Amino acid sequence: MTTSDTQQVKSLARGLRILDTLAAQPYGLSLADLSRAIDLAPSTVHRLLQTLQSMRYVRESADGLWQVGIACFEAGSAFFVVRDYARDLHPALVELANLGETSNLGMLDRHEVVFIGQVECNEVMRMVAPLGSRAPAWASGVGKALLACMDETSLMRCLPADLGPALTGATLIHLDALQNDLAQARSRGYALDMEERNLGLRCAAAPVFDEFGQARVAISLSGPAARMGDEIIDQLGQKVARKAYQATLALGGIWPDNWIKPV
């Protein structure tokens, strides 16, 4: 790499630091404040700003503050066009499956959850749901994780008038019991399916949110109740929640205030 190339790389890094700093200060910074924030001479910063301004990545407001420009929005919007949850979340499903249980990815279709991704674990006894298969949302970990993200009006519109008949003795078929369960999911950061759809099968699930703070999909770990006892399923639920939080941020989403943030 020549000296000129090295200088260009350094200038690129400095320009990106300027964009990162201005993005964190949406109302803008003066040249002096921006220079102090990134520890560069005002003359250097001003030269970089002029280049970025010519390409519409920054703009100068009427009161002399530097702000991010429209080109930042245009470039960032391209990310959301190419985002594919089934593809982009596959590495997260692989990591979760390495914990010893099958990982799943699902989305809502009215009052049903549709499984659109899965990575099987290596255990002989394991959960397997064919891609495209469906389940009642209120009797599924993935489904309840997504239902828990809805306001009451949306929830009532989504659910059928009758939640019965029960699929197992643990299925929640009374609305007040389901609403209480969904509130618990929000407060701990993950939803649980405690043999509510299939006897002997348990699941812990958490939602992944988009840039509007809306739950688009949910990820989960599912396995036999014999391996997923009460303490183990809570530990796995916390790990699923952390992975969902990381995935939300990595894919440009916003974690809503009414869901506890995983630690």
Q: What is the pLDDT of residues 115-141, one digit of tens each?
A: 999 999 887 777 777 788 899 999 999
Query: What are the sequence ranges of the domains in the chain?
Result: 3-81, 83-250
Q: What is the pLDDT of residues 174-217, one digit of tens each?
A: 999 999 999 999 999 999 999 999 999 999 999 999 989 999 89
Q: State the fold for domain 3-81.
A: Arc Repressor Mutant, subunit A (1.10.10)
pTM: 0.74
Is the pLDDT at 1 greater than 90? The verdict is no
Predicted pLDDT of residue 3: 54
Q: What is the pLDDT of residues 70-119, one digit of tens each?
A: 888 888 777 666 568 989 999 999 999 999 999 999 999 989 999 999 99
3-state secondary structure the chain: CCHHHHHHHHHHHHHHHHHHHHHCCCCCECHHHHHHHHCCCHHHHHHHHHHHHHCCCEEECCCCCEEECHHHHHHHHHHHHHCCHHHHCHHHHHHHHCCCCEEEEEEEECCEEEEEEEECCCCCCCCCCCCCCEEEHHHCHHHHHHHCCCCHHHHHHHCCCCCCCCCCCCCCCCHHHHHHHHHHHHHHCCEEEECCCCCCEEEEEEEEECCCCCEEEEEEEEEECCCCCHHHHHHHHHHHHHHHHHHHHHCCCCCCCCCCCCC
Band of the pLDDT at 2, cuts 50, 70, 90? Answer: low
More confident of the two residues 164 and 191: 191
Predicted pLDDT of residue 132: 84
CATH architecture assignment, domain 83-250: 2-Layer Sandwich (3.30)
